């Protein structure tokens, strides 16, 4: 395998295919004049998100159209087998995020190396974000019990939780995002295939959002209750904000997790039928925002600051104190990055109602940020009348993967 100037796991033949180089271009490449290649690659690389970097992709990456979150349980008890799998996954992810297939088979008498359903599709901003759950450290089965970060503990059971074991736990997690659903599925399927015998899927949840290309406004996406969702996310363009609220720091206690982030996954059912019978004024009081503009009640524009104490001329609070925005905002001290998607999963067998809601995904430097906000929401959020939390899981997502390294290598070093 040639690695000159190329991502690990990417061959020259792959590059020629992606770059669409034939004839003279291919001849130049074959003759070693490689400076022609990066340009050709760049021209084709507009929808690729680098797999390697300081942070894992899929956190700061602008939210893609589709997600699949997959939790795996590890079947092997052998540390070397687990590490070997993480290395094979690393090579596969480097190829897939570069828009390449997993390889070509030279023989018609063996199963193809790549399952083929993504042939002809571009990288579609495919990203992988890997993390580990509390159970990975249990029983010291891989010799890493002493490395469990102190903050990686079971989330508390919150008031009104109705959690189903089906959507909880997992030794490893991967958040797979892309703008094409088939690209996401292909990635999920092939990671699972590569992991056969070493890991097995514990649960998988998929989500969608409005497709960016089809949204003429190009603004903040709307959730299934029709409201803009994501407005109040922190401004992560500033490194100080990222360090303070999003990424784990060396000094937090577990150096191997530096530049990683905690991922909370909550499956929250949204009772659409009840919501659909609720008058608009009450819907807006529930979120504390105008539906059309997304502005906080009492303000004019979507990104106006949230001022819970603002009052009307009659002394009435403009932003109801039990509205979702007011309660989640609190005193404005805790921040997390919400990167949620909508989900729909058929119907409730008993009622015939649509089973749909929010696949709530948040990244934060410490799970305490989520816990503090959710504790408040669980006790006094007006939105609770319309939602039920059904699933819950917490993972520590690794720092960025470096070229030559592999997923989670700092944990096993």
Question: Is residue 358 at the binding interface for ligand HEM, with CB under 6 A as the rule?
Answer: yes
**Cβ contact 184:177 at 8 Å:** yes
Q: Does 225 bind ligand HEM (CB under 6 A)?
A: yes
Region of 52-60, 88-96, 164-172, 371-379 interacting with ligand HEM (CB under 6 A) = 371-379
Helix (H) or strand (E) holding 243: helix 239-245
> Using alpha carbons only, how large is the chain's radius of gyration in Å?
23
Query: Please, which residue, 270 or 410, has the CB nearer to ligand HEM?
Result: 270
394 binds ligand HEM (CB under 6 A): no
Q: Which stretch binds ligand HEM (CB under 6 A): 35-43, 207-215, 226-234, 347-355?
A: 226-234
Rounded CA separation 81/202 (Å): 19
Which of 148, 289, 339, 365 binds ligand HEM (CB under 6 A)? It is 289
Long-range contacts at 293-298 (CB < 8 A, ≥ 24 apart): 294/219, 294/220, 294/227, 294/228, 294/231, 296/325, 297/323
132 binds ligand HEM per the rule CB under 6 A: no
Is 329 one of the binding residues for ligand HEM (CB under 6 A)? yes
CA-angle at 383, arms to 379 and 387, nearest 5°: 95
245 Cβ neighbours under 8 A, 6+ residues apart: 234, 335, 336, 337, 364, 365, 369
Q: Which stretch binds ligand HEM (CB under 6 A): 33-41, 90-98, 184-192, 221-229?
A: 221-229
| Residue from the set 65, 223, 342, 384 that interacts with ligand HEM by CB under 6 A | 223
Q: Minimal distance in Å, beta carbon 336 to ligand HEM?
A: 6
Q: Which is nearer to ligand HEM, 148 or 266 (CB)?
A: 266
Establish if 219 lies at the interface with ligand HEM (CB under 6 A): no
> Shortest Cβ contact with ligand HEM: which residue?
232
CB atoms within 10 A of CB 364: 24
Structure tokens at 145: 């019990």
- In sequence order, the 6+-apart residues with CB closer than 8 A to the CB of 349 are none
Among 67, 306, 401, 411, binds ligand HEM (CB under 6 A): 306
**How many residues are there in the chain?**
413
Interface residue with ligand HEM, options 374, 391, 398, 407 (CB under 6 A):
374
Which residues would be at the binding site for ligand HEM (CB under 6 A)? 223, 225, 227-232, 266, 268, 270, 287, 289, 306, 324-325, 328-329, 357-358, 360, 370, 373-374, 377, 387
């Amino acid at each position: 395998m040639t690695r000159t100037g190329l991502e690990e796991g990417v061959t020259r033949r792959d590059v020629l295919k992606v770059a669409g180089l034939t004839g003279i271009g291919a001849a130049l490449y074959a003759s070693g004049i490689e400076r022609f290649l990066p340009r050709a690659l760049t021209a084709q690389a507009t929808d690729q998100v680098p797999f390697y970097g300081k942070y894992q992709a899929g956190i700061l990456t602008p939210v893609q159209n589709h997600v699949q979150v997959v939790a795996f349980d590890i079947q092997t008890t052998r540390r070397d087998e687990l590490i070997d799998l993480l290395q094979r996954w690393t090579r596969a992810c480097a190829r897939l995020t570069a828009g390449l297939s997993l390889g070509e088979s030279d023989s018609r008498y063996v199963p193809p190396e790549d399952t083929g359903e993504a042939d002809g599709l571009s990288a579609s901003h495919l990203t992988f974000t890997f993390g580990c759950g509390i159970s990975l450290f249990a029983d010291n089965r891989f010799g890493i019990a002493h490395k469990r970060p102190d903050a990686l503990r079971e989330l508390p059971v919150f008031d009104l939780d109705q959690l189903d074991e089906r959507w909880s736990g997992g030794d490893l997690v991967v958040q797979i995002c892309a703008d094409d659903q088939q690209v996401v599925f292909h990635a999920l399927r092939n990671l699972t295939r590569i992991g056969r015998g070493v890991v097995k899927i514990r649960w998988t949840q998929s989500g969608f959002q409005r497709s960016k290309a089809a949204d003429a406004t190009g603004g903040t996406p709307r959730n299934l209750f029709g409201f803009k969702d994501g407005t109040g996310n922190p401004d992560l363009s500033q490194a100080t904000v990222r360090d303070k609220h999003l990424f784990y720091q060396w000094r937090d206690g577990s150096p191997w997790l530096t530049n990683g982030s905690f991922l909370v996954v909550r499956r929250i059912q949204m009772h659409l039928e009840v919501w659909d019978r609720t008058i608009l004024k009450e819907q807006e009081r529930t979120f504390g925002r105008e539906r059309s503009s997304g502005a906080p009640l009492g303000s004019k524009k979507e990104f106006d600051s949230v001022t819970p104490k603002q009052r009307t001329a009659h002394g009435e609070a403009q932003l109801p104190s039990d509205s979702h925005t007011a309660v989640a905002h609190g005193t404005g001290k805790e921040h997390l990055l919400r990167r949620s998607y909508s989900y729909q999963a058929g119907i409730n067998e008993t009622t015939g109602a649509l089973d749909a809601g929010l696949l709530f995904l948040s990244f934060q430097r410490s799970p305490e940020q989520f816990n503090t906000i959710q504790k408040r929401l669980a006790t006094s959020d007006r939105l609770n009348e319309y939602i039920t939390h059904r699933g819950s899981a917490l993972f520590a997502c690794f720092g960025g993967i470096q070229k030559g390294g592999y997923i989670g290598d700092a944990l096993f070093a």
